Amino acid sequence: MPQKVVPGRLVLVRHGQSIWNLDNLFTGWTDVDLSAQGIDEARRAGRELARESIAPDVVFTSVLKRAIRTQWLMLEELDLLWLPVERSWRLNERHYGALQGLNKTQTAERHGAAQVKLWRRSYDVPPPPLGLDDPRHPRFDRRYADVSPGDLPATESLKDTLARVLPYWQQRIGPELRRGRHVLVVAHGNSLRALVKMLDRLSEQAIVELNIPTGVPLLYELDAALEPRASRYLGDPAAVRAAAQAVAQQAQKQPGARPRPERSCCARAALPVERYLRDGSVIQPS
């Protein structure tokens, strides 16, 4: 009787803070690098995997340098720079269309905070698209030369991002896990939210309210059907909370607005950190 293969472990990591995260700019497919803090976050993520004795067998990442550099730094900490790495545009960040490169606060001043929140945080409303002749359009970027022009987005909603990521999960990531290989995916806030929505079967409302912290590994233990048996963030609970709250605060910046109180661990102190993060407590305030 053939021996059943136990699925490998899955680790999801959002790239470390980028220079445009730091400057509060819409990034999307713009290829910007890590900030100094982002470099530290990436190295720390690698050390967390080492501390938990998690050694990936294969790595998947996007074609954007902030994710590529994050996985380099993580693998360097693990002394696993020789591992096979597959890069795919399907793991890129959500495309923010004509908003890319704009300051988030200034955009809210121009279009209104409610409209910008709709573009950023709704499930199925994309921002204004790039024109076909806009030099920022991905059809002008040689890294997408082998991608069908009809597949290249000029803008995307989170729903569109999920539709882009899901085939890659089915065709590349899932099969590696079924072979019993441990998989590391280093990607972006929205491409990872798409995977989390699929894995955890989150509602549209729940996923738009979920913030994934930069540079914090999220470990999934999966059953034979690749359904989650358990999931948790790795690292010091206080540091994980602080990272998640920093993402939430960055997402809610509005012109002239005073900081609003965060929903944090203090409101649900009886729950372990991995649970209150996984069930949506660290959210975009309404």
Catalytic residues: 15, 93
* Cα–Cα distance for residue pair 157/190, rounded to 1 Å: 9
DSSP letter string, 209-261: TB---BT--EEEEE-TTS-EEEEEE-S-HHHHHHHHHHHHHHHT--TTPPPPP
Helix, strand, or coil (residue 35): coil
Helix, strand, or coil (residue 138): helix
Non-local (6+) Cβ contacts of 266 within 8 A are none
* Cα–Cα distance for residue pair 169/184, rounded to 1 Å: 12
Distance of CA 62 to the CA centre of its chain: 11
